[in-house]
Amino acid sequence: MDGSSSTGSRRARRGGGGITLGDVARLAGVSPITASRALNTPGQVAPETLARVREAVARTGYVPNRLAGGLASARSRLVAAVVPTIAGPVFMEMVQSLTAALAESGYQLMLGQSGYTESREDALLEAIIGRRPDGVVLTGIMHSAEGRRRLLASGIPVVETWDLTPTPIDMLVGFSHVDAAAEVARHLHAKGRRRLALISADDERAQRRKSAPSAATAASPTRRCGSAWPPTRPGSRSNWCRRRRRSAAVASG
């Protein structure tokens, strides 16, 4: 497993804090009180002023601190983790490890399910950032531009997991999905398997895993049978592979 971090930006984020209401007010050319009123009671400000404040919010990624009012300086002792799903076992080991490790240091884990769409993740991130946890753990590196901007503006330490990128938001602990899938293909090929079937999901990470086996065995006489998602009735995956006389089936969820 590889790890990397944006050390300089992390120090600045932790030391200097995130975007504040004052920053939004300055950018919009209004007082902090007017900016606050525009965000909390928009009907009490002029339409032109409201538009300027909202534009400043969009440009900076600012999310109002829901814990303001005497609590902003106190640590929440919460760390938020965002995973696509908890319906299966894939991410549960990470969740359990986070829970145990954080508890040893006096923190509690707040868990959110984002599904596999950017819109759901964006809505979840806005709710999380507004409550100012002491850290955010994300699954994957594929986030919308708005979600990334909000996370950067918040000043909250962020750890991206389950993937690799040269441009992490803050900190990164993960692995290459392409390399992992290619290694599986090379292993099966070395075992003499020449008719491979790949059962794959349709999210971005799965698509990268899907393309790797063909590339890894492109120079060999392997017959690449492509990928598909078989019917969902009981036992259908194994039956589907047997009917087509595959020599190996790889499930990439």
Quick check: 137 and 82 in contact, CB under 8 A?
yes
pLDDT attached to residue 252? 61
Structure tokens at 206: 């799965």
One digit per residue, pLDDT tens: the chain, 253 residues?
A: 555 444 444 444 444 568 999 999 999 999 999 999 999 889 999 999 999 999 999 999 998 876 664 454 467 889 999 999 998 888 999 999 999 999 999 899 999 999 888 889 999 999 999 988 999 999 999 899 999 999 999 999 999 999 999 999 999 999 988 888 888 888 888 888 877 777 777 777 767 766 665 555 554 444 444 444 444 444 444 444 555 555 666 656 5
pTM of the predicted protein model: 0.68
Q: State the architecture of 2-15+70-174 in CATH terms.
A: 3-Layer(aba) Sandwich (3.40)
Contact 214, 252 (CB under 8 A): no
Task: Write down the pLDDT at residue 229.
Answer: 41
> What pLDDT, on the 0 to 100 scale, is given for residue 179?
86
Query: Domain locations in the chain?
Result: 2-15+70-174, 20-60, 178-252
- DSSP-derived letter for residue 56 is H
Query: What pLDDT score was predicted for residue 43?
Result: 93
- For residue 160, count other CB atoms closer than 10 A to its CB: 23
Asked whether the CA dihedral 78, 82, 87, 90 is positive or negative, the reply is: negative
Q: Tell me the CA distances in angstroms from 153 to 62, 80, 105, 150, 237, one per residue in order.
A: 6, 17, 26, 5, 45
